[in-house]
Amino acid sequence: MKHKKIRRKFILYLDGDLPETEKGKIEKHLSVCESCRNALKVIKELWDGEEKFQVLPPESLWYKLKDRLEEKRIDRILGLRLNKKKILKTAAAMVIVIISVLTGSRLGNALNPSFENENNIFLKNNITRDDFGINYFDILPPNSIAEDVFIFASNTEVNKK
Amino acid sequence: MDETQIIEHLKNGDEFIYKYVYDKYVRIIFNVCYKMAGSKEEAEDASQEVFIKVFNSIDSFRADSKLSTWIYRIAVNVCINFQRRKKIVKFLSFDFWEEEKDSPVENSTPLKSLEKLEIQNTVQRALNRLPAKQKTALILSRYEEKSYKEIAEIMGTSLPAVESLIFRAKENLAKKLSLLKNN
């Protein structure tokens, strides 16, 4: 066995978890390899020397826990705790749906050439893209800030005419 | 008070039982969390989470194992989740390339020699570097002195799986201990 392989088995060897054959191989190797003997000494020192101590929980732990339990109890009484997650999930889903519908309808309207209603300020004022030499005539979503800017610009153009 | 009565009171939400259960299990829970997390602060947070889960989900306890086994199971899951969260936070805070900072093991007795503390620190640091499941199995076996059967119940796995986890944990630990000691 190589040194690395041998050293990996040291804790198992110390704890007596290895079968006799493997234990024999390790002992055989240790009898001829000083570096592995030293490595085993170090591991033994660490593994056996480590005290299995018990840590005492701090006294404040119970009071902190009590506070958190009380918070949860109040939440439950108010019905918030049970519904908090559901409310958040539903609200998030609703926001996503609303944003998707609005964006979809605006994009749809803007890209649709037959979009002819009273909101279409460009058609109402008989403005064509040739008046501006630009291409955003078709794609500005109605009621958007971009449209407001465009209305301002178009009114100026109409006044000029 | 026997276990059935404790469970019954917990299910009824009788508040006096919380302190009773806390007193009965706080030491083992805190010690498991401490070994798993490696620091007292994290062990405190994790222990609180464990008790809150125990009190709030007692209705889901089907009594197919001992109450203590169920509590251990919750503790192990909470600690593994804490570790996962810690790794994610570390990754998101761009600290992931840094060498893992090991929380020093606090001195539990004032008379403990520096040498012993150093040994404890080295072993804890090596433990912290083990994969979560191997670490859990080894902690339950070595420090909580649980049998392989009990560990299998706590971890919700089979006996051969526990044997293999502990075997691999000891192999890995020996490797990591040699590396740490050499450094």
Contact state of B34 with A55 under an 8 Å Cβ cutoff: yes
Say what the ipTM of the complex is: 0.73
Contact state of A65 with B34 under an 8 Å Cβ cutoff: no
Q: What is the pLDDT of residue A68?
A: 87
A69–B contact, CB cutoff 8 A: yes
CA distances, B91 to each of A26, A50, A115, B117 (Å): 41, 32, 50, 30
- Range B1-98: architecture per CATH: Orthogonal Bundle (1.10)
Higher pLDDT, B108 or A139: A139
**Alpha helices in A9-115, H assignment, sequence order:** 10-14, 20-32, 34-49, 60-78, 80-111
**Residues of B whose CB is below 8 A from A6:** none
- Which CATH topology does B99-183 take? Arc Repressor Mutant, subunit A (1.10.10)
Contact state of B173 with A11 under an 8 Å Cβ cutoff: yes
Q: What is the pLDDT of residue A102?
A: 84
**Residues of A whose CB is below 8 A from B26:** 57, 61-62
B20–A contact, CB cutoff 8 A: no
Per-residue pLDDT tens digits for A56-97: 899 899 999 988 888 877 777 776 555 677 788 889 999 999
**Residues of A whose CB is below 8 A from B109:** 53
Q: What is the pLDDT of residue B78?
A: 93
Cβ-based neighbours of A129, under 8 Å, separated by 6 or more: A135, A137, A138
User: Rounded mean pLDDT of chain A?
Assistant: 76
Q: What is the pLDDT of residue B180?
A: 72
Indicate if the pLDDT at residue A124 is higher than 80: no
A1–B contact, CB cutoff 8 A: no
Instruction: Concatenate the DSSP letters of all residues of B107-127 into one string.
Output: PSSTT--HHHHHHHHHHHHHH
Mean pLDDT of B119-132: 85
* pLDDT category of residue A134 using cuts at 50, 70 and 90: low
Q: Where are the domains of chain B?
A: 1-98, 99-183
Residue A116 tokens, joined: 């002819």
Mean pLDDT of B97-115: 53
User: How many pairs of residues across A and B have Cβ atoms under 8 Å apart?
Assistant: 96
Q: What is the pLDDT of residue B110?
A: 47
Q: Where are the domains of chain A?
A: 3-49, 57-111, 113-161
Contact state of B22 with A65 under an 8 Å Cβ cutoff: yes
SS (H, E, C) A120-158: CHHHHCCCCHHHCCCCCCCCCCCCCHHHHHHHHHHHHHH
Mean pLDDT of A14-24: 91
